[in-house]
Amino acid sequence: MVADSAEENAFLKALDLVRAQGCALAVIGGGTNLIVHDDGFRGVVLRYTAREISRSGLHVRFDAGAVLQTLVDFTIDHGLSGIETMTGIPGWTGGAVYGNAGAYGRAIHQSVRSVRFYDGAAVREFNNEQCQFRYRESTFKDHKNWIVLSAELDLAEGSAAALRLQADEILKVRNAKYPPTMRCAGSIFKNLLLADLPDGVRSFVPAAAVREGKVPSAYFLELAGAKGMRNGGIEVAAYHANLIYNAGGGTASEVVQVIDELKDRVRRQFGLDLEEEVQYIGFGPERG
């Protein structure tokens, strides 16, 4: 992969300086799936903003500060297939690698060739296997002090026109579910792997509810009465039980109250522990 850039060096110097001072630190990307405490964050927030994207044959390299949609459009325009289903997912590419983002049967780990990151002492590079990708997880989530700097994808040849058509159709569906003007952090809870469910619950779930080996958390949330639930200015969408949004004047504490209530309902009714897909800032280690 490419040598260190001036932007990378500047970011790492700032990161080391903050850590040396012992300040509370949050490194964020686009911030699209964050819930920030109403009192803010008493510390330093850093963003890595290098955003170059380049291509060599079927390989695409990108900096972690590149917007994910920009990367998706780049691959489509160059007739490269692999991440076109991620069109419309907000945020930056570093966060996409960190959380193994995906949609419509594809996740970014299926295309990742390698990832460069800073472990607090040195810049290192992992291949796909070393990244330990799982559903919405990676080794970078396991080691939150490791910072993704850049990555490379291995993609396949495709028709730019066909890829664009597919992406446009997906974007229509996504925008209908998550209107661009809606104030939300996307899906709140991760879906559940069918194979990991208790036998009693697994046998209860109809085949029609299973998608690519996963049961949408919305299935259980709907049965628990989540749709239309309201707490102050925070609402659960009447058409999607895993969509919590700010209808106006809502607070982070109200969001957290709704999340905790829904987790409690699903736990009591099904014996399942839902896990958030969103990340918390300023809430302390209990929501780290």
Nearest to 223 by CA among 234, 215, 231, 233: 215
Amino acid at 16: D
* CA–CA gap between residue 156 and residue 182 (Å, rounded): 34
At 279, list the tokens. 């990340």
Considering the domain architecture, whether residues 136 and 193 belong to the same structural domain is answered as no
Considering the domain architecture, whether residues 12 and 152 belong to the same structural domain is answered as yes
Considering the domain architecture, whether residues 144 and 28 belong to the same structural domain is answered as yes
Give the pLDDT mean for 43-53.
96
Q: What pLDDT, on the 0 to 100 scale, is given for residue 288?
A: 63
Q: What pLDDT, on the 0 to 100 scale, is given for residue 5?
A: 85
Residue 172 placed within a domain: no
Range of the domain at 85: 6-162
* CA–CA gap between residue 226 and residue 265 (Å, rounded): 9
Residues classed as catalytic: 136, 187, 277
Model confidence over 53-62: pLDDT tens digits?
999 999 999 9
Residue 174 placed within a domain: no
Considering the domain architecture, whether residues 20 and 98 belong to the same structural domain is answered as yes
At 151, list the tokens. 């990555």
- pTM of the predicted model over 0.95: no
Model confidence over 3-42: pLDDT tens digits?
468 999 999 999 999 999 999 999 999 999 999 999 999 9
Ordered alpha helix ranges (H), the chain: 6-20, 68-77, 93-98, 139-142, 160-177, 199-204, 217-223, 252-270
Considering the domain architecture, whether residues 85 and 140 belong to the same structural domain is answered as yes
Q: For Cα atoms 37, 35, 8, give the angle at the middle one, nearest 5 degrees.
A: 105
Q: What is the CATH number of the domain that holds 24?
A: 3.30.465.10
Mean pLDDT estimate for the chain: 95
